[in-house]
Structure 1
Amino acid sequence: MKSVKALKWRYATKKFNSDKLLAPEKIEILKKAFNLTATSYGLQPLKMLVIQDKELQEKLMKASYNQQQVSTASHVLVICIENEIGKAFIEKYFSYVKDIRNTPDDVLHPFRESLIGSFEKKPVDEIHTWATHQAYLVLGTLLTVCAVEEIDSCPMEGFDPDQFDELLNLQKHNLKSVLVLPVGYRAEDDFFAELKKVRRPLDETIIEY
């Protein structure tokens, strides 16, 4: 029940305590959680920016429709997708599999070539949509880990990706921003912290066979 208790504790934090910063070890946990998240085929078509720069956070807040969480959070995590996910990207993944698991190339070859062939047939927009779905898997993991670690967070889709990409110079890294997660500690006067959760009853959301 510890995990359920943690999920009841969490909420979308509307006001952070800007004077209370996350310890480096907490950020390290979030980095590792990001990297350990399940993704389709295990390809990890994502990167995460960890921002702790108040001047930059102020600029990003303006590109987030002035949502104060971005400027007052201890850190801002930006989940990005890779712009190019093709043969070279897939081959690099399989080289990790070979090195880490000592899997013979003749075992890896059929699946690797099948995956490369599949991706080469897909339009770029379809691949980006697929990669964005993986970003949401990561977001779910991060929200849960934040809850267990008693780190406050606020998942955000409400921002201008083009402005974020420009401010963060993401073109240089061949990335596109898709999700934002300010993290830190809630302010004592955040009204939303004390509100009861509103969820549909279990018998309306769960079907058992």
Structure 2
Amino acid sequence: MKILESLKWRYAAKRMNGQRVPSDKVERILEAIRLAPSSMGLQPYTVLVIEDEELKKQIRPIAMNQPQIEESSHLLVFAAWDDINPEHIEEYIRHTAEVRNMPAEQLNDFKNTLLGIADRNTQEQNFNWAARQAYIAFGVGLVAAAAEQVDATPMEGFDAAALDKLLNLPEKGLRSVTIMPLGYRDADNDWLAKLPKVRRQKEKFVLEA
């Protein structure tokens, strides 16, 4: 499928049939998410992959009882860093130097820029910035799933504090931002499956400045 055909095919499935998504498709979706752009390349978020049926059952009431939670093959939780700290930045610089086969000292100016940005913001500002970066990766994940003809439902309707507690995210320095069930649509039981996709008219959506 070409990209526009894939995007026309996808929609936010309201019911899934429980069929398992092949592992190679899941891996390609996750790799696309990993390759997504982020500000400064820092990628201040983590993606948790949940397959355990009992855990999904516990998450469902936290997520407004949405059935896709349990009906999905894999449940992805996008969790942003609770704060941007010097340890995060030092690790990123070390990794960059290793990948690019260069002395870490050559990245000192870049490191100091990152440290300065993180230091002048409050913890909540750093978290909000990290959450916005997570959403970029989230969008890439939705497109990648469509390209694989895997249904993916974007979800914000959940109790983030309760989900964080269930998944022990505070201990990991993380806070949940959004979740993405992966699976296959149950077209016979999904009221949205056969309805035309609705998007704003191009002439109203795209303006020439």
* TM-score (norm: length of structure 1): 0.95
The RMSD of aligned alpha carbons is: 1.3
Are residue 171 (structure 1) and residue 147 (structure 2) matched? Answer: no
**What is the DSSP-based 3-state SS (H/G/I as helix, E as strand, rest coil) of the residue aligned with 2:21?**
coil
> Aligned partners of 1:106 and 1:165: how far apart in 2?
37
- Which amino acid is 1:194 matched to? K
1:146 CA drift (Å): 0.7
2:27 is the alignment partner of 1:28: yes
Map 1:33-48; keep pairs closer than 5 Å. 33-48=32-47
- Aligned-residue offset at 1:171: 2.2
In 1, distance between residues paired with 2:104 and 2:69?
A: 46
Aligned counterparts of 1:131 and 1:2: Cα–Cα separation in 2: 31
Residues 1:103 and 1:208: Cα distance change in structure 2 (over 3 Å)? farther
1:98 maps onto 2:101 in alignment: no
Would you say 1:9 and 2:9 are equivalent positions? yes
Distance in 2 (CA, whole Å) between partners of 1:13 and 1:66 is 15
**What letter corresponds to residue 156 of structure 1 in structure 2?**
M
| 1:77 aligned residue | 76
C-alpha separation between the residues in 2 aligned to 1:92 and 1:106? 13
| Alpha-carbon shift at residue 161 of structure 1 (Å) | 0.6
Q: In 2, Cα distance between the equivalents of 1:164 and 1:42?
A: 27
| 1:106 shift after superposition | 4.2
Q: Higher mean Cα deviation, 155-164 or 77-86? A: 77-86
Q: Deviations over 1:35-88 (max 9, x none)?
A: 111011000101011011111111101001111111111111000011231111
Quote the Cα distance in structure 1 between the aligned partners of 2:55 and 2:105: 48
Q: Quick check: 2:30–2:141 contact (8 Å CA) kept in 1?
A: no
> How many angstroms does 1:193 deviate by?
1.3
Count of equivalent residues:
208
Secondary structure, in 3 states, of the residue corresponding to 1:192?
coil
Aligned counterparts of 1:15 and 1:207: Cα–Cα separation in 2: 35
* Cα separation, 2, equivalents of 1:86 and 1:166: 22
Q: Separation in 2 of the partners of 1:87 and 1:172?
A: 18
- Equivalent position SS for 2:31: helix
The runs of 5 or more residues in structure 1 that have no matched partner are none
Distance 1:205 1:185 in 2: 30
The one-letter amino acid of 1:48's match is V
Per the normalisation by structure 2, the TM-score is 0.95
Aligned to 1:63: 62
Name the % identity: 38
Other structure's SS at 1:94 match = helix
* SS in structure 1 at match of 2:193: helix
SS in 2 for 1:191: coil
Code of the aligned partner of 2:53: K
Give structure 1 regions of 4+ aligned residues with deviation exceeding 4 angstroms: none
Q: Which amino acid aligns with 1:34?
A: I
**Counterpart in 2 of 1:202?**
202
